[in-house]
C-alpha cells in the first residue's frame, strides 16, 4: 500500500475540497464516542486521509480506489457511536458521510428518500411542515445520522410504539465493499426473496456503505399525553409494566429506572409513559394506564415530572454534538473511575433474576450500581455501574454480558458491537458467526471495509477486552 499513490489518485478523481489530510480533521474523525472510561486502554490509529463525499458516485470512487491501493475504509456518520464502530482500528481512509444531505419527502406515501448523512433532527425538521415525523428519536437526535443509526440499528424514545431505526427502513441504496452500487425497492413489504436491505441494518458498515435510504414516516400525533408514577421497588413497577403490555397498550415512551439500587434494600423506581395520537384515544389510554398502575400501588407524580423529562431528553446528546462540532476529543468524557451502561435484551421473564444477580455480583466485587431500568419494552434492561480498578471493572462487564447470553439474551440492544463487544461475538452467534464471516469474505474479499468491527475477520484481532 502506498499512501502517496492513494492520495494522488483520490485528488485526481474527486474535487479538492472532498479530500483532507488536515491533522485536526484526521484526529477528530479517528474516533467516535467510545473512550477509555468505558474501555480501559482504548486507543485509535490516525487515519491516512478523510474523504467527504457529496454524492453516491464519490463514495463508489473512494471505495474502488481504496481497493486498488488496498487501504482500509471506515464509514463515519455523526461519530456518536459508543462501541468504536466508526473508529480507526487501523490507519486508513475515513469516509465522512455527512455530505450526503438530500431529502425528498413523499407525503402521499408517508415515506422519505434521504441521504445517509442527514441527522435525525434535520430529517424531522424537514418532515414536520408535511405533518409527518420520523419515529426514531435517540438522545443524539442532533448528531446521529441516517447511515449511522441504520448501521447500529439504534433505538430511541419512541421505540415502544414505533420500533427501532431498523424498523423504519424500507429500502436502501448502498455501495458494496468492491464499489458496486445497489438499490433495493423501498416498499412497505415485498415477498421477492430475502429482504436485501436488512443486510445493512446493524451491520456497522461492514457489508456496504449506505448512501441513501427510504424510511417510513408517521403522522405527527395530534397530542402526546405524558404521565409518570413512582413504585415502591423495581419488582412492583416491573409487574405493572408487564400487565400494561399484556393489556395490548403500546406507549410511545416507556422509560423505567431507579437510582443507586442494591440487592438487599428496596429503592423506589419511576415509570414515565407517553400516549400519542388522536386526543381522545391518547387520553383514554393514559387513564387506563393510571388505573392499572394504581392496582400496583404506583403513586402518580405531578405532570411536570414527565413533561420535564421529555423536554430535557436530548440534553446529553446535544452536549456531545456540541463538543464534537467544536472539535473536542472524547478525553473530555474520561472519568477517573471507569463507568459503563450496559443495555441487554432479555426474555422479560428473566429480567428480575438477572437484575438481582447482577446487583449481587457488583456488590460482591466492590462496584457500585448507579441505576437499573427498562427502555421501550419489558425485556430491554439497562444497568449502569462504576468503581474498582480497570481490571476488575472490565472483568465485571464481561461477566454481566455473558450472564445475559446464558439466559438466552442478546448482549446489546441498541449501540451495536464495534470493537468493544467483538470478543463476545462467537459466544453471541455460535455457528452463525461463521455464516456472517463467509458473507463478509464473499462481499469484501480484501477485508477492507471497516476492519476489526463485529469480529468478522478472524485474522484481524480486535483489541483484547
Ligand X SMILES: Cc1cc2nc3c(=O)[nH]c(=O)nc-3n(C[C@H](O)[C@H](O)[C@H](O)COP(=O)(O)OP(=O)(O)OC[C@H]3O[C@@H](n4cnc5c(N)ncnc54)[C@H](O)[C@@H]3O)c2cc1C
How big is the chain, counted in residues? 465
**Residue 292 or 383 having the CB closest to ligand X:** 383
**Residue 229 or 375 having the CB closest to ligand X:** 375
DSSP string, 381-445: EEEEEE-S-HHHHHHHHHHHHHHHHHTT-BS-SSS--TTTTGGGHHHHHTHHHHHHHHHHHHH-T
**Residue 343 or 355 having the CB closest to ligand X:** 343
**Residue 97 or 374 having the CB closest to ligand X:** 97
Task: Supply the minimum distance, in Å, between the C-beta of residue 210 and ligand X.
Answer: 4
Which residues, in sequence order, are CB contacts of 30 under 8 Å at separation 6+?
44, 45, 46, 47, 87, 88, 94
Task: Supply the minimum distance, in Å, between the C-beta of residue 413 and ligand X.
Answer: 8
Task: Supply the minimum distance, in Å, between the C-beta of residue 294 and ligand X.
Answer: 30
CB-closest chain residue to ligand X = 148
**Residue 403 or 415 having the CB closest to ligand X:** 415
Q: Is 136 helix (H, G, I), strand (E, B) or coil?
A: coil
Residue with cell 436488512: 198
d(CA 97, CA 177): 15
d(CA 19, CA 61): 12
Which residues, in sequence order, are CB contacts of 239 under 8 Å at separation 6+?
296
Q: Return the axis-axis angle of helices 351-364 and 234-246, rounded to nearest 10°.
A: 160
Task: Supply the minimum distance, in Å, between the C-beta of residue 67 and ligand X.
Answer: 17
Task: Supply the minimum distance, in Å, between the C-beta of residue 302 and ligand X.
Answer: 25
Task: Supply the minimum distance, in Å, between the C-beta of residue 317 and ligand X.
Answer: 5
**Residue 228 or 450 having the CB closest to ligand X:** 450
Q: How far is CA 32 from CA 85, 123, 159, in A?
A: 8, 22, 24
**Residue 33 or 249 having the CB closest to ligand X:** 33
Nearest to 32 by CA among 87, 70, 77: 87
Under 8 Å between Cβ of 210 and 173: yes
Task: Supply the minimum distance, in Å, between the C-beta of residue 180 and ligand X.
Answer: 15
Task: Supply the minimum distance, in Å, between the C-beta of residue 431 and ligand X.
Answer: 24
**Residue 75 or 237 having the CB closest to ligand X:** 75
Q: Return the axis-axis angle of helices 279-295 and 234-246, rounded to nearest 10°.
A: 140
Nearest to 242 by CA among 350, 378, 380: 378
Q: How far is CA 296 from CA 158, 236, 238, 243, in A?
A: 24, 6, 10, 10
**Residue 298 or 415 having the CB closest to ligand X:** 415
Kindly list the residues in this chain that would bind ligand X in the complex (CB under 6 A): 32-33, 74-82, 85-86, 97, 116, 138-140, 143-145, 147-149, 151-152, 154-156, 204-205, 209-210, 316-317, 320, 414-415, 450, 453
C-alpha grid cell, residue 334 = 474520561
d(CA 253, CA 382): 15
d(CA 273, CA 249): 11
Q: Is 13 helix (H, G, I), strand (E, B) or coil?
A: helix
**Residue 61 or 298 having the CB closest to ligand X:** 61
Task: Supply the minimum distance, in Å, between the C-beta of residue 78 and ligand X.
Answer: 3
Task: Supply the minimum distance, in Å, between the C-beta of residue 310 and ligand X.
Answer: 14
Task: Supply the minimum distance, in Å, between the C-beta of residue 448 and ligand X.
Answer: 13
**Residue 273 or 414 having the CB closest to ligand X:** 414
Which residues, in sequence order, are CB contacts of 321 under 8 Å at separation 6+?
78, 80, 140, 142, 143
Amino acid at each position: 500500500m502506498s499512501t502517496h499513490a492513494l492520495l494522488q489518485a483520490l485528488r485526481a478523481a474527486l474535487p479538492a475540497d472532498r479530500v483532507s489530510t488536515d491533522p485536526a480533521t484526521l484526529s477528530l474523525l479517528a474516533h467516535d464516542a467510545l473512550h477509555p472510561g468505558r474501555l480501559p486502554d482504548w486507543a485509535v490509529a490516525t487515519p491516512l486521509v478523510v474523504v467527504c463525499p457529496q454524492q453516491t458516485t464519490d463514495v463508489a470512487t473512494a471505495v474502488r480506489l481504496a481497493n486498488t491501493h488496498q487501504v482500509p475504509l471506515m464509514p463515519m456518520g455523526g461519530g456518536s457511536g459508543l462501541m468504536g464502530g466508526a473508529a480507526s482500528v487501523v490507519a486508513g481512509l475515513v469516509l465522512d458521510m455527512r455530505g450526503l444531505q438530500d431529502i425528498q419527502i413523499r407525503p402521499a406515501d408517508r415515506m422519505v428518500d434521504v441521504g445517509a448523512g442527514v441527522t435525525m433532527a434535520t430529517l424531522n425538521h424537514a418532515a414536520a411542515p408535511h405533518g409527518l415525523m420520523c419515529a426514531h428519536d435517540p438522545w443524539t437526535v442532533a448528531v446521529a445520522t441516517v447511515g449511522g443509526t441504520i448501521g447500529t440499528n439504534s433505538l430511541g424514545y419512541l421505540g415502544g410504539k414505533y420500533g427501532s431505526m431498523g424498523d423504519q427502513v424500507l429500502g436502501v441504496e448502498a455501495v458494496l465493499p468492491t464499489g458496486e452500487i445497489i438499490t433495493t425497492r423501498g416498499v412497505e413489504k415485498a415477498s421477492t426473496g430475502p429482504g436485501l436491505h436488512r443486510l445493512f441494518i446493524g451491520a456497522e458498515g461492514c457489508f456496504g456503505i449506505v448512501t441513501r435510504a427510504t424510511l417510513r414516516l408517521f403522522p405527527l400525533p395530534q397530542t402526546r399525553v405524558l404521565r409518570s408514577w413512582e413504585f415502591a421497588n423495581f419488582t412492583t413497577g416491573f409487574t405493572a409494566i408487564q400487565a400494561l403490555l399484556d393489556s395490548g397498550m403500546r406507549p410511545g415512551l416507556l422509560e423505567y429506572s431507579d437510582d443507586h439500587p442494591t440487592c438487599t434494600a428496596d429503592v423506589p423506581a419511576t415509570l414515565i409513559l407517553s400516549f400519542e395520537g388522536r386526543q381522545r384515544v391518547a387520553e383514554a389510554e393514559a387513564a387506563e394506564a393510571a388505573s392499572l398502575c394504581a392496582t400496583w400501588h404506583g403513586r402518580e407524580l405531578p405532570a411536570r415530572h414527565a413533561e420535564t423529562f421529555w423536554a430535557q431528553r436530548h440534553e446529553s446528546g446535544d452536549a456531545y454534538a456540541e463538543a464534537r462540532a467544536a472539535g473536542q476529543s472524547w478525553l473530555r468524557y474520561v472519568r477517573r473511575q471507569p463507568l459503563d451502561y450496559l443495555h441487554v435484551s432479555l426474555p422479560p421473564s428473566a429480567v428480575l433474576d438477572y437484575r438481582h444477580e447482577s446487583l449481587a455480583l457488583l456488590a460482591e466485587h466492590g462496584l457500585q450500581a448507579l441505576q437499573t431500568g427498562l427502555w421501550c419494552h419489558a425485556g430491554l434492561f439497562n444497568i449502569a455501574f462504576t468503581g474498582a480498578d480497570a481490571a476488575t471493572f472490565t472483568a465485571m462487564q464481561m461477566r454481566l454480558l455473558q450472564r445475559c447470553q446464558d439466559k438466552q439474551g442478546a448482549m446489546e440492544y441498541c449501540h451495536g458491537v464495534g470493537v468493544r463487544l467483538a470478543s463476545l461475538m462467537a459466544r453471541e452467534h455460535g455457528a452463525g458467526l461463521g455464516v456472517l464471516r463467509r458473507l463478509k469474505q464473499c462481499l469484501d474479499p480484501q477485508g477492507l471495509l471497516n476492519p476489526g468491527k463485529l469480529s468478522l475477520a478472524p485474522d484481524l484481532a480486535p483489541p483484547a477486552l
